[in-house]
Structure 1
Amino acid sequence: MCLIVVGWRGHAAYPLLLAANRDEFHARPTAAAAPWPDAPQIVGGRDLEAGGTWLAVSVGGRLAAVTNVREPGMAKGARSRGELTRNFLLGSESALDYATQIDCAAYSGYNLLLSDGEELVYASNRDGAPRTLAPGIYGLSNHRLDSPWPKLEKARAAFAQALATLPDENAFFSLLTDSEIVADDKLPQTGVPLEWERLLSAVFVQSASYGTRASTVVRQDCAGNFRLHERSFGPNGELLQSSVISTGV
């Protein structure tokens, strides 16, 4: 997943709100959001290559999402980042306790957002110690939390405006499907070729081989129940399916 905007305790009806895009090569095998056959208390998409997830929730009121840190040329970690989210959702530790116990050196660069219903925690093996987040709106892509990348700042601003339209989710999906390419003089310099910087500068990434595979809006109500709405995409941004799943505590 390459873009997440999350609102924490900023809306009276929905203390946790999240809008996210997962960008990946279209050839990588993926299961769309659904209860997991081997762990039906977990609801979300699944990476069928390594078995983890980029974003999922649990019936127990837990949420986990991960993005990679873009650092071309770095050696690959021994373990899949998707297991970080999976293991949190399968466990019972507090978000902060779980985050502080991670063997950071075993993974390539990662950013994690974890909620146990009581706290929202940000953890990264490229950005210091895990920390609990205060109420607010936060953005995460493939660098540190709230890095001033143009697409992230644009998405955060649109997310803040969309809060007033809830429970209608159209404004959130509208921000997630923004395919505008950033001008060259405003592109971040992340070590990838210019054509890739351009492609990845859009909120919604589309090409024949790589792009946004899923757009997801998650909201948790005051009772801890989740509503997860996912739209799946194929090459060049073709809409494949849309699904809505609700969980109870």
Structure 2
Amino acid sequence: MCVIAFAYKMPGLGQLVLLANRDEYYARPAAPLDWWDDYTDTLGGRDLQAGGSWLMVDGRGRFAALTNFREGYGKSGERSRGELVPRFVTGDDDPFAFADWLRDNHQHYAPFNLLYGQVDDLFHFHSRGARIARVTPGIHTLSNATLDTPWFKSERLAEHLRGLRRPPGEDEAFGWLADATAAGPGQLPNTGVGLALEKTLSPIFIQGRDYGTRASILLNVSARGDVSLSELSWGLAGREAGRRRYTIRPGQIQHPAKP
């Protein structure tokens, strides 16, 4: 993922409302949101180049979402960061045991943030400092810095969550995630990629020549633990390429017909 905003344990919004956009090169192959054939109670999109994912949830309520940490034109790690998402979601480690594993192994990956845990007990791991923190109730953001860094795109997306009294519907959420408003000169971060690229990457929804927003995601977790996960796929020039929606209820996996 490249921008995430979420309301966590907020009145009227259930356990979790999460909005996210995944940005990637258009040429990199990926499968949209679906049940994984090799982990049949697990939902997520899949990177078909390296085999990992950017966001997943399973029938036990285990969840993970990944963002990169941007510091200049970063080099690839020995291993793909996307493998961390299914590694946690399909595994059995508790968040603290998984954080110990991350501390021992994070150097094999390019810098990253991992939001993970149970949908009602979330943690954040930041690889640059090998730090874990339990997420507190409230409105939070995560982009390509660290948790709650006030970037233009993150704050603009989070503003839609502030004051909500009910979980948003798909059309409402996907409208927020399609916002292509760029930051002004004084609102840009300095991550070492130059002002022109900072501006291109500053909107919630990115439309570059070779790189841009590939998927928008809405995750709602009700007070009783029902999980609703929706994804809108995007093609070149910001063209909608399909929608998918799935539901997981505690103790009951539902596999709807594929569109």
Query: Which bracket does the TM-score occupy, shorter chain normalised?
Result: over 0.9
Provide the rounded CA distance (Å) in 1 between the counterparts of 2:92 and 2:145: 28
Aligned to 1:164: 165
Q: What's the CA shift string for 1:60-100, capped at 9, x where partnerless?
A: 11111000011224443211111111111111222233123
**Percent of aligned pairs with the same amino acid:** 37
- The residue identity in structure 2 corresponding to 1:193 is G
**Aligned-residue offset at 1:165:** 4.2
Whether the aligned pair in 2 keeps the contact of 1:207 and 1:237 (CA below 8 Å) is no
Moved more, 217-226 or 207-216: 217-226
2:149 counterpart (144, 147, 150):
147
Instruction: Classify 1:193/1:167 alpha carbon distance in 2 versus 1 (closer, same or farther; 3 Å).
Output: closer
Q: What's the CA shift string for 1:204-246, capped at 9, x where partnerless?
A: 0012311000000001123323111100001121101011111
Whether the aligned pair in 2 keeps the contact of 1:127 and 1:144 (CA below 8 Å) is no
Matched, 1:108 2:96: no
Aligned to 1:124: 126
Matched, 1:82 2:96: no
Following superposition, which runs of at least 4 residues in structure 1 exceed 3 angstroms of deviation? none
Q: What's the CA shift string for 1:165-221, capped at 9, x where partnerless?
A: 425343322221110011122211111132211110000001231100000000112
- The residue identity in structure 1 corresponding to 2:113 is N
- Aligned pairs, number: 248
List aligned pairs for 1:1-249, cutoff 5 A.
Answer: 1-12=1-12, 14-102=14-102, 103-161=105-163, 163-166=164-167, 168-249=169-250
Instruction: Classify 1:9/1:96 alpha carbon distance in 2 versus 1 (closer, same or farther; 3 Å).
Output: farther
Moved more, 57-66 or 168-177: 168-177
TM-score, normalising length from structure 1? 0.94
Provide the rounded CA distance (Å) in 1 between the counterparts of 2:181 and 2:73: 28
Unaligned ranges ≥5, structure 1: none
Whether the aligned pair in 2 keeps the contact of 1:44 and 1:55 (CA below 8 Å) is yes
TM-score, normalising length from structure 2? 0.90
What's the secondary structure of 1:40's corresponding residue? coil
Provide the rounded CA distance (Å) in 2 between the counterparts of 1:149 and 1:106: 27
**Aligned-residue offset at 1:117:** 3.8
What's the secondary structure of 1:142's corresponding residue? coil
Whether the aligned pair in 2 keeps the contact of 1:21 and 1:212 (CA below 8 Å) is yes
Provide the rounded CA distance (Å) in 1 between the counterparts of 2:120 and 2:150: 28
Unaligned ranges ≥5, structure 2: 251-259
Q: What's the CA shift string for 1:32-79, capped at 9, x where partnerless?
A: 000011111110101011111001111111111000011224443211
